[in-house]
Amino acid sequence: MSPTVDAVLAEALKLSPREREELVEALADSVLPAPALHPDWHAEIARRVAEMDAGRLRFIAEAEALAALAARIESRRPRP
């Protein structure tokens, strides 16, 4: 790494974990900007965030969600 990058990294490591997370997100966005969303998604995202904030959603582990999805797909497969 260059001396400048080393210096920036040394300073960044002094930040709190949350501040480092924000920095990583900002740096990632500067290199790989998020694709533009279809306008309908903005309303859907707002609706989902409101549901989360209101406590009306049940969060499940990734493995549980994938297992439920696999079971649902399997149940819809035609049987010979």
The predicted structure's pLDDT at residue 29: 86
Q: Could you give the CA distance from residue 6 to residue 20 in angstroms, rounded to a whole number? A: 15
The predicted structure's pLDDT at residue 69: 95
Residue type, 25: E
- Contact status, residue 40 vs residue 32, Cβ threshold 8 Å: no
Task: For residue range 25-59, list pLDDT tens digits in order.
Answer: 999 989 987 788 898 999 999 999 999 999 998 89
pTM over 0.85: no
Whether the pLDDT of residue 78 is over 80: the answer is yes
Task: For residue range 5-21, list pLDDT tens digits in order.
Answer: 999 999 999 999 999 99
Per-domain residue ranges of the chain: 3-76
